Chain A
Amino acid sequence: MIYFDNVSKLYNGGRSAAIEEVTFQIDPKEFVSIVGHSGAGKSTLLKMIIAEDRPTSGQVFFESLDIHKIPRTRLPHYRRKIGTVFQDFKLLPHKTAYENIAFAMEANGRTDEEIAENVPQALALVDLSDKAWNFPGELSGGEKQRVAIARAIVNQPDIIIADEPTGNLDPIATYEVVQILRKINDLGTTVVMTTHNKGVIDELGRRVITMDGGRIMRDDQNGKYVL
């Protein structure tokens, strides 16, 4: 589904590298965790998948599509296949939980009927039906991240990209968020997540890619957090 072919990203005219000669593949319906110290290149990998960052050399494919050859005008269309979740939630503060999720559907040009049908479903999936009309400021960190996940999945993307989704959360909220991501993965959506959290990785028992200094050090199908 996602294929990195010998991808490098260099800075300062080639003197420093964010990632170096990275090659790996993500299959449909996988749940992949990418771990590593800060600066190991985890976020750069994710940015390349959503076409926010381009490689200095090598290619990144989404199915048979070379991501960095997509014309600018087609990028929004491509991004609709991907749901994104961030450490800092990126919710719009002046919109309620419901409106934040509906906003993602509106931007995709979905009809009002679809919105009225799908937003409550997404809220139910993240177990926040009772907080639909609360503003982000009235929600806890874990609840905000669940709204962000609902927003990411509401357009039924092929893949969810989660960059440190539990980075700002307490252990209980972390557990809830990971459970939701696992549920989404069980329903058939590919999930790629970066994390620092050893407990999360060990609990998941799924594929783990370990990065260090921009290179892939380990790639285990039933990984543990080893650094």
Chain B
Amino acid sequence: MVTSLRRIFKAGFVGFWRNAYVSLASIFVITVALFVIGSTMLIDQLLGASLAQLQAKVDINVYFVPSAPQEEIDTLINSVKALPDVERVTYTSRDDALAEYRAKNQNDSVAMQALDELRENPLGATIAVQAKETSQYENINRYLEEQKNPIIDEINYTKNKESIGKLSSIIGAVEQASFVALMVLIMASVLITFNTIRLAIFTAKEEISVMRLVGASNMYIRGPFMLQGVMYGVVSGVIALAILYPIVLWLGPKTAEFFEINIFDYFVNNFAYIFLVLVGIGVTLGLVSSVLAITRYLRV
């Protein structure tokens, strides 16, 4: 048993090197497939992150009239905070609002002049309300409107809602399209891998027929080819990761700017997971292709 296993392993390794050309072709095909799968995983991560961010940006802004008394504002804030759907309420006081406005328009001399001319701060306080789930905004919005509180100047929920809904649907469509593309590519690579390994086994047809003649068991004949399939998968997985590494290293800062998530950090932090997924898929691909192909030549 141990002797057989040792021989199967030896034959597998020898076959791997001896059919270097076929091994190379198989590895190349599986590597391409794994690279596509890995890229899709990362792109999916970026899209998911930006969707989450967009959702975080959804909020309800409540503008108070400038003359609103502080106690009434506080009462309203507390009542909103008490709602079960509310995650967070951010308060911006009149002074803060003014300071913000000044900072934003410091180069606009006309606006500054106008502001100076007004002795009083024309801006009201605001609060930004964030819900725990996107779907809960409707309720919060309704609650605020039903108050008919005179200190509320404006609630701007409906304005934000539309643009955010549009963005969400675009991201959803992109995710769906990438999933379909991924499936097509995986299917193509399974077929190509299967054919390449079948070619590898075809070149060993003679050897297989001799093995059968001398009474080698099916497992003894199959073993080395299955091992080769596994090796193709492992090597391809490692190569695919090695190709992805410099790409994400280069893309990292760019994605950090655009998507506010550094894809390189994600790659490094989830390396074990990505490694297992890619190598696992590669091994499965190689093994299944080998078993399918060898079965054709073992019919008695």
Contact A111 B214 (CB under 8 A): no
Contacts of B220 in A (CB 8 A): 107, 109
Total chain A interface residues with beta-carbon distance under 8 A: 27
Contacts of B212 in A (CB 8 A): 76, 79
Contact B7 A106 (CB under 8 A): yes
Once bound together, how far apart are the Cα atoms of A6 and B269, in whole Å?
Answer: 74
Once bound together, how far apart are the Cα atoms of A135 and B143, in whole Å?
Answer: 90
Contacts of A220 in B (CB 8 A): none
Once bound together, how far apart are the Cα atoms of A76 and B212, in whole Å?
Answer: 7
Contacts of A109 in B (CB 8 A): 3-4, 220
Stretch from B77-85, B116-124, B202-210 contacting the other chain: B202-210
Q: List 23 A-B contacts (CB under 8 A).
A: A51-B300, A72-B300, A73-B218, A76-B215, A76-B217, A79-B212, A79-B213, A79-B214, A80-B214, A84-B213, A90-B206, A90-B213, A91-B210, A92-B206, A92-B207, A103-B210, A107-B214, A107-B217, A108-B214, A109-B4, A151-B214, A155-B214, A155-B215
Contact B215 A108 (CB under 8 A): yes
Tell yes or no: A37 within 8 A of B by CB: no
Closest to B217 in A: A76
Give me the interface of B with A, judged by CB distance under 8 Å.
3-4, 7, 18, 206-207, 209-218, 220, 300
In whole Å, how far is B216's beta carbon from the nearest beta carbon of chain A? 3
A108 touches which of B206, B210, B216, B218 (Cβ 8 Å):
B216
Once bound together, how far apart are the Cα atoms of A109 and B212, in whole Å?
Answer: 13
Closest to B299 in A: A72
Once bound together, how far apart are the Cα atoms of A94 and B3, in whole Å?
Answer: 22
Give me the interface of A with B, judged by CB distance under 8 Å.
50-52, 72-73, 75-80, 82, 84, 90-92, 94, 103-104, 106-109, 111-112, 151, 155
Once bound together, how far apart are the Cα atoms of A30 and B231, in whole Å?
Answer: 49
Contact B210 A111 (CB under 8 A): no
Closest to A101 in B: B214
Closest 6 CB pairs of A and B: A107-B216, A80-B215, A104-B214, A79-B215, A76-B217, A76-B215
Once bound together, how far apart are the Cα atoms of A92 and B212, in whole Å?
Answer: 13
Contact B210 A90 (CB under 8 A): yes
Contacts of B300 in A (CB 8 A): 51-52, 72, 75
**Residues A76 and B216 in contact in the complex (CB < 8 Å), given A90-B209, A92-B207, A107-B211:** yes
11 additional contacts (CB under 8 A) given A76-B215, A106-B7: A76-B217, A79-B212, A80-B215, A90-B209, A90-B213, A103-B214, A104-B214, A104-B215, A107-B211, A107-B217, A107-B220
Contacts of A94 in B (CB 8 A): 18
Once bound together, how far apart are the Cα atoms of A50 and B206, in whole Å?
Answer: 18
In whole Å, how far is B17's beta carbon from the nearest beta carbon of chain A? 12
Closest to B18 in A: A94
Once bound together, how far apart are the Cα atoms of A103 and B213, in whole Å?
Answer: 11
Contacts of B4 in A (CB 8 A): 109
Once bound together, how far apart are the Cα atoms of A84 and B215, in whole Å?
Answer: 10
Once bound together, how far apart are the Cα atoms of A80 and B217, in whole Å?
Answer: 10
Once bound together, how far apart are the Cα atoms of A84 and B213, in whole Å?
Answer: 7
Once bound together, how far apart are the Cα atoms of A103 and B215, in whole Å?
Answer: 11
Once bound together, how far apart are the Cα atoms of A52 and B207, in whole Å?
Answer: 17
Once bound together, how far apart are the Cα atoms of A151 and B220, in whole Å?
Answer: 18
Once bound together, how far apart are the Cα atoms of A7 and B137, in whole Å?
Answer: 85
